[in-house]
Structures are given as structure tokens and as C-alpha cells.
Amino acid sequence: MRLFVLFFAVLMSQYSLSEEFAEHPVDISPQALRASYATDQSGFRIALENNVFYKATANAVTEFFDPSRPTLVYFHGWRLNNRDRGETVNFNHVLLPENAVNMWRRAGWNVVYYNWIQYADDQNFLRAECRIWSATCSNRNITWLDAEGKLNYLDEPESLSARIADEWMAAFGTRLDMNQELRFLGHSLGTQLAIAVADELLKNYDVAIDRLALTDLTSSVIGKRFLNGEWVGRRAFEIAEDLIQAGTAIENYRCWQVSRTFPLDQNIPFDQLVLTIERKLDFTAGGLIDFSAQDAQHRACFLTYFWSIEQGPSDDNLETFTGASVGTDVVRANHGRLLKQISGESSQTENPNDDQYEIAN
């Protein structure tokens, strides 16, 4: 069945393309985005410099995706009300010294992200979460939201993660150079999606991604009906075990003070399995009851990861761990380690490349 889906997706892509498409990037103006959400706009986007994006159709992949480069794939998190505001992923955040994609492409990478705003923009966080893992939620096929906020049911039962894995293989599978790194980056609820898609690729296509970067993992501590009573954190742990056995390096960044202080979203077994980095983003100011500061910490977690590619290749000194630019072999060799950022001058700056850490175990 999987092979049929892959064949069908590739076949249909040949008939739905026009040679002129490559000349027309996605219109990311709020008006155009809101109008486009009348239909399901989820899918992979190839990110170029200065917030220029192309849908990952066959023509665009051929023209803008360079298989000789390593590839970063980003999965955004819960995006409440982004659909109404006509927003998309913005790599021009004020925290960054320049566009995040510019930095990664200058470092020699392809950058791709998956737009699932119409599945992630939901007042009900648990319903958005369910779509990642299950083909059915509340005994019906999963849904997406259109421009007017109406729930639309998929014709066939399929989890979002399984669908994304199929789409990845259809769009990029035949062009990947297995000698080049494939890295997934997930943020917040997008960490669950990154984990689940990596699992689907491994189970159904025997494709093991090289590296998985998680920024503020959500483990959702209560048992879930769509996982037969298992909690998401436990499922994430089991998948991580399989990925590590297949050779995937996993780095786990914890920035949000709330999840470190209260047992709301902790996943201690997962933290102890992978390389875990506790960051102290003191430049955001505020405390646990300062919600604006907590939101700033949460956002800074993935933004500073993007920034950290600028450091360039580093040695294996964990006390000066430089995030994205650290070699994948270094991450893999230090599974089970816990790094804690040292408060002080380095934690007061936005720049992640001056951070200092202590090895806590």
C-alpha cells in the first residue's frame, strides 16, 4: 500500500505541474495566505534567502533543492490564530541578526519546512496533537481548518505524520544523496511531529534520518486515547530508542522554565537517553509568572538553534557546546549526557555562540 501511495503521488505530481511554476514563489502576503486557506495548503516548502518559499513540487525540487548539500527540515509548533492572521513561518525574527535561512544556506545547507498551520491552528491543543499520531480522532478521520474556520475531514484515514512521510519520499526521496546529512528540527508541538515523521520514515521506508534536534519537547504527560492510553512522552522515548539504534543522533534543548520546574511536561527517561542541553536564556528576563518572558524563552529556544549554525564546525568540547554547528558524531557520542548552561555573561546575550556549559552527569 505504501509503495502504491508513493507511486501515485509521484505520478500525480507530473500532471499537476507547469513549467512556469518555478518562476512564482509562494505569495506570503496576509491577504493571499488567508485566501489560500480555502483549501488544504499543507505541504513541504523549500526555503530560499530572504523569506522566499516554493512549494515542493517536482519542478521546484529539481530547480531549488541541491542534493549535494545537507538538508535541514523544520517542523513548526502549535500555531493558534495564525491562519486567521494570514501568517506563515517567519525566518526574519527580530531576535536574529539576519534571516535564519540566509545563515543556513550560506553554511551550505538546503532548508525545507513543513507547513501544517491548518492542522496546528486549533483552539483545542489536544485535537492538534491527535492529528500527528492518529488516523482518526473522536472516531472520525482527522480534520483541517479552512479560511472560515470550518473543520474539513480527510477522505481517507491517515495520521498527519504518515502522510508527511509519504509526501517527503514522493518529493525528495529519489533526489537525496545518502552521503549528505538529513536533519529534522522540531519546536514545541512540532517536536512531536518531527519524532513521529522520523518514525514513519524508519518503519515504512527504512530511512533513518541522521540527526534530530528538539527544542522544548512537549511530552504531554497524561495518557491519550489515540495512543491507547499511553502518554506521548513514553511513545517518544520508544521511538527515540529505535532511531538511536538505527544511527540517528538526538539533541534535546530545554529552555522553557515551566517544564523544568513543575512536572507538567517533563520526560526524564527521554532526557537521560539522548543528549540534553538545559539553556538559561536570562536575556529574556522575567520569572515563572511572567508569561511574556516564558513565551520569549520558548520562542528563543528554536531561534537561537537556527542562529548557532553561524559558529561553524566546533571541536568536541562540551563546555563550549555550539548547538547546530556541533558535529553530528559529537552529538551521537554523547547520548545520555546532560549539559547545563552556566548563568552569567553568556546567558545574558542572545548570541548562542558564546554560551558556556557544565557537564552535569
The DSSP code sequence of 237-263 is HHHHHHHHHTT-EEEEEE--HHHHHST
Judge contact between 99 and 49, C-beta under 8 A.
yes
Of residues 163 and 260, the one with the higher pLDDT is 163
Mean pLDDT of 150-178: 88
Question: Distances from the Cα of 241 to the Cαs of 79, 210, 246, in angstroms?
Answer: 29, 14, 9
Mean pLDDT computed over every residue of the chain: 82
Mean pLDDT of 94-123: 90
**Residues 39-86: pLDDT tens digits?**
888 899 999 998 899 999 888 888 999 999 999 999 998 866 566 665
Q: What are the backbone dihedrals phi and psi of residue 169, each rounded to the nearest 5 degrees, phi first? A: -65, -35
What is the pLDDT at residue 36? 85
User: Could you tell me the pTM of the whole model?
Assistant: 0.87
Q: How far apart are CA 280 and CA 257, in angstroms?
A: 9
Looking at the chain, list the stretches that DSSP marks H as alpha helix, in order from N- to C-terminal side: 2-15, 30-36, 58-64, 82-85, 100-106, 117-120, 125-133, 160-168, 189-205, 232-245, 257-261, 268-273, 291-307, 328-333
Give the range among 108-112, 118-122, 174-178, 289-293 with minimum mean pLDDT: 289-293
| 304-335 as b/e: b if 16+ CB within 10 A | bbbbbbbbeebeeebeebbbbbbebebbbebb
Is residue 114 over pLDDT 90? yes
Name the band, by pLDDT with cuts 50, 70 and 90, for residue 10. very low
Local confidence band at 306 (pLDDT 50, 70, 90 cut-offs): very high
Query: Distance between CA atoms of 234 and 221, rounded to whole angstroms?
Result: 9
Lowest mean pLDDT among 71-80, 170-179, 254-263: 254-263
Residue where the block lists cell 534567502? 49
Q: Contact at 8 Å (CB) between 285 and 291? A: no
Over residues 336-360, mean pLDDT = 77
The grid coordinates listed for 326 are 556541533
Q: Which of 55-64, 117-126, 288-297 has the highest mean pLDDT?
A: 55-64
Which CATH number is 2-359 given?
Answer: 3.40.50
pLDDT at 120: 83
Q: Is the pLDDT of residue 173 over 50?
A: yes
Model confidence at 9, pLDDT cuts 50, 70, 90, reads: very low
* The three three-digit cell numbers of residue 9, written as one number: 503521488
pLDDT at residue 283, as a whole number: 59
Q: Which of 137, 135, 125, 189 is nearest to 160 (CA)?
A: 135
Lowest mean pLDDT among 4-18, 113-127, 175-189: 4-18
pLDDT band at 7 (very low <50, low <70, confident <90, very high): very low
Q: State the pLDDT at residue 328.
A: 95
Torsion of CA 333, 339, 342, 346, to 10 degrees: 50
Domain extents for the chain?
A: 2-359
Statement: residue 11 has pLDDT above 70: no
- 8-23 mean pLDDT: 37
| DSSP tag of 170 | I
pLDDT (0 to 100) of residue 189 = 92
For residue 159, the model assigns a pLDDT of: 92
Q: How many residues does the chain have?
A: 361
